[in-house]
Structure 1
């Protein structure tokens, strides 16, 4: 398992925004507010991987897709990685008034001593006011 990084609310947010954690992804992860856009949900889900906030990852995953994995599998995978950075490449739709959105990104991580780039186009859907990660297509 990679060494654990310590994050404080005033730490830079792991999602790569120019904000601190408390003003960026942490309120979403803690349930104090709801991600208003597909991109903000994507960023907060990345941050949840870094912080090992598995319940948040589970709860922001479309319920009909959860059969593909378990909380334990997500925990095992996320904790086996040292998360090194997130780059958002493109966002299509996914604004507060939209019901669907796509976010293309690259997540950089180290696993078993090797650096990997995970490039994905994530598909998001909004039901009522909540955005959910639905699935992805290869970039």
Structure 2
């Protein structure tokens, strides 16, 4: 993977809101058609994650559960379309560790997620959470 792309993915807590916004293209679970949306990505415990707390489960999440292969589109600064694989994070201890780090990141003074402060961990515990991995490209 190109070093510039790696730096764009391996964001640090100092990353701006804009640097955290990507598009993903999933495969529709019923239609089999590509579905592209804009979403935030997060870094926690040295890994990349997608997370959403909406109810019912967002379509991007159910699409990735059905077909884990998807495209991760960097679009702010560095532009790249990356093949990726999603793994739903369901283990309670793993979820707690990841979400604790994501919430701590969002509660920084510069508020990278532009969310009302403080962001409360309890509000994120039922979020849909997937780990993103990038196969050798």
TM-score normalized by the length of structure 2: 0.29
**RCO higher in structure (CA 8 A, sep ≥6):** 2
